[in-house]
Copies of this chain bind each other. A is one copy, B any other.
Amino acid sequence: MESSNIRLAVIPGDGIGTEVVAEGLKVLNAVGVKAETSEYDLGARRYHASGETLPDAVLDELRGYDAILLGAVGDPSVPPGVLERDLLLRLRFELDHYVNLRPVKLFPGVATPLGEAGPEDIDMVVVREGTEGPYAGAGGVLRRGTPHEIATQESLNTAYGVERVVRYAFEKALSRPRRKLTLVHKTNVLTYAGDLWARTVDRLSLEFPEVETDYCHVDAASMFFVTQPARFDVIVTDNLFGDILTDLGAAVAGGIGLAASGNVNPARTAPSMFEPVHGSAPDIAGQGKADPTATILSVAMLLDHLGLTEAAGRVEQAVADDLLERQTAWTPRTTREIGDDIAARVAG
Residues of A within 8 A of B (CB): 80-81, 84-85, 89, 112-117, 134-135, 137, 139-141, 143-160, 163, 186-196, 199, 218-220, 222-227, 240, 243-248, 250-252, 255-256
Contact = CB atoms under 8 A, between A and B. Distances in A.
17 contacts: A113-B115, A114-B115, A115-B116, A149-B159, A150-B157, A151-B192, A151-B193, A152-B193, A153-B155, A153-B192, A154-B154, A186-B240, A219-B244, A222-B245, A222-B247, A223-B248, A226-B226
Given A141-B195, A144-B195, A223-B250, 5 more contacts: A81-B194, A147-B160, A148-B160, A219-B247, A226-B252
Nearest to A199: B145
Q: Tell me how many chains of this kind the complex includes.
A: 2
Nearest to A259: B223
A254 to B, nearest CB: 10
A243 B219 CA distance: 6
A196 B151 contact: yes
Given A134-B189, A219-B243, A248-B223, A151 B140 contact: no
Contacts of A218: 243-244
A89 B157 CA distance: 23
A81 B226 contact: no
Contacts of A84: 188-189
